[in-house]
Amino acid sequence: MTLNLKSHIADVPNFPKEGIIFRDISPLLASPEAFSFAVSAMSDAVKGCGAGAVVAIESRGFIFGAPVAMRLKLPLVLVRKPGKLPGDREQVSYGLEYGTDTLELKRGMIAAGSQVVIVDDVLATGGTAAATADLVTRVGGHVAGFVFLIELLGLEGRSRLGDRRTASIIQY
């Protein structure tokens, strides 16, 4: 079955600021058929990459990471904003267009030397995904690949992810 997933993405002009077209995934999530199709496509895109876990990035990455992990029968590891995870954590700060952000990963969730696949909703500039890959490496893991629902090609985020396997289901 083929489904036009772009028809389930709403374009919101001038949000969150003038000149930006926000790609709203709410209609896709509201359609069980489209959501299931998207998760299946994301799972298929990384099947066989050798990953032993799925790493999902807060917050919308959780929406896709959890069902991808279930489909692939892999553990789910969460990368969160500061102060959201208990225990011993590794932290990375990274630059954004207007400032910095920080992500954390709980130590002990990824076995040293294990391969993971990183899941998020959108690949834009690649900063968040690259920071997540840095976290995985800091705790001794290896990134087998990335998968995104949407890739904004004009922002060239893929170039920040190196030569790792990178897949996106919808491109703009």
Task: Please identify every residue annotated as catalytic.
Answer: 60, 97
Give the containing element (helix H, strand E) for 66: helix 60-72
Distance CA 8, CA 30 (A): 9
Q: Which of 37, 38, 41, 6 is nearest to 24 (CA)?
A: 6
Cα separation, 128 vs 120, whole angstroms:
9
CA distance 51 to 72: 9
Alpha carbon distance 123, 155 (integer Å)? 9
Question: Which residue in this structure is represented by tokens 């359609």?
Answer: 31
Region of 47 please: left (phi>0), alpha (psi -120 to 50) or beta.
beta
